[in-house]
Amino acid sequence: MPQWLHVLALVSLVAATACAALIALDIALGRRQPMAIMNLVWPITALYAGPLGLWAYARIGRAPKHGGHGHPSERPFAQSVMLAATHCGSGCTLGDLTAESLLLAAPFTLFGSALLTGWTLDFVFAFVIGIAFQYFTIRPMGRMSARDALLAALKADTLSLVSWQVGMYGWMAIATFVLFGDTPDKAGPVFWFMMQIAMLAGFATACPVNAWLLKRGIKHPM
């Protein structure tokens, strides 16, 4: 593996961690989001998007200290789509990172394939955490029972979650079979750099689906 790629991966990971820390600090110092779950979404977004995530937070996500962002319907549609995708994607990202970290700490295989094991766990963790993110967006509004809020979360985010994972799997397949011929070492920075790119690919494949969901009224602007 070329040294320049190792260095680039380290730079990307350090920059992303710094961006996530800056966003988390800014929120903690009084810029708390009107929708509580977004206090997690923005730092998680920066973990894969790095400076781009920090720019997006500063441009459309940073809450004024007195609170409030205006009504969601006042946002341009493109911003609503992006926010819906990042909201869903943060749950997917956290799930994927958790699953891959678990496999790094305690490796095991299912179906006789380490790659298939990783992708299976990635999907399960991403789905569970992603739906939880949506549930804790809907439930605090107090207009639904816990059961109805869970059903609404499943309805609103299942397609979005799947579309995100498709993009993530697509890039990791390219990295595994085309770029490297095998899965990069999970203990090294290049694997996690590839995961960052995979999350950006997931964002790209999730945006059209979220646009459709918003237009159909299945999801609501944030």
Query: What is the DSSP code string of 31-75?
Result: ---SSTTHHHHHHHHHHHHTHHHHHHIIIIIPPPTT-----GGGS
Residue 67: its pLDDT value, please? 55
List, in order, residues 6 or more apart from 162 with CB less than 8 Å away.
none
List, in order, residues 6 or more apart from 169 with CB less than 8 Å away.
119, 198
Question: What number of other Cβ atoms are within 10 A of residue 179's Cβ?
Answer: 14
Tokens 């203990």 correspond to 187
Dist CA 150 CA 33 (whole Å): 22
Do the beta carbons of residue 167 and residue 202 sit within 8 Å? yes
Residue 177: its pLDDT value, please? 94
Reading the block at residue 139, the tokens are 């439930």
Which pTM was predicted?
A: 0.90
Per-position pLDDT tens, the chain of length 222: 799 999 999 999 999 999 999 999 999 998 998 888 899 999 999 999 999 999 999 999 998 876 555 555 578 999 999 999 998 899 899 999 999 999 999 988 888 888 889 999 999 999 999 898 888 888 776 677 888 888 888 988 899 999 999 999 999 999 999 999 988 999 999 999 999 999 999 999 999 999 999 999 888 777
Reading the block at residue 148, the tokens are 């109805």
One-letter amino acid at 38 equals: M
One-letter amino acid at 23 equals: I
Determine the length of the chain.
222
Residue 219: its pLDDT value, please? 84
List, in order, residues 6 or more apart from 157 with CB less than 8 Å away.
88, 91, 130, 131, 133, 134, 219
Dist CA 163 CA 166 (whole Å): 5
Residue 160: its pLDDT value, please? 92
Do the beta carbons of residue 34 and residue 67 sit within 8 Å? yes
Residue 94: its pLDDT value, please? 93
Reading the block at residue 16, the tokens are 């992303």
Dist CA 16 CA 10 (whole Å): 10
Nearest C-alpha neighbor of 118 from the set 108, 130, 128: 108
Residue 136: its pLDDT value, please? 83
| DSSP 8-state code for residue 113 | B
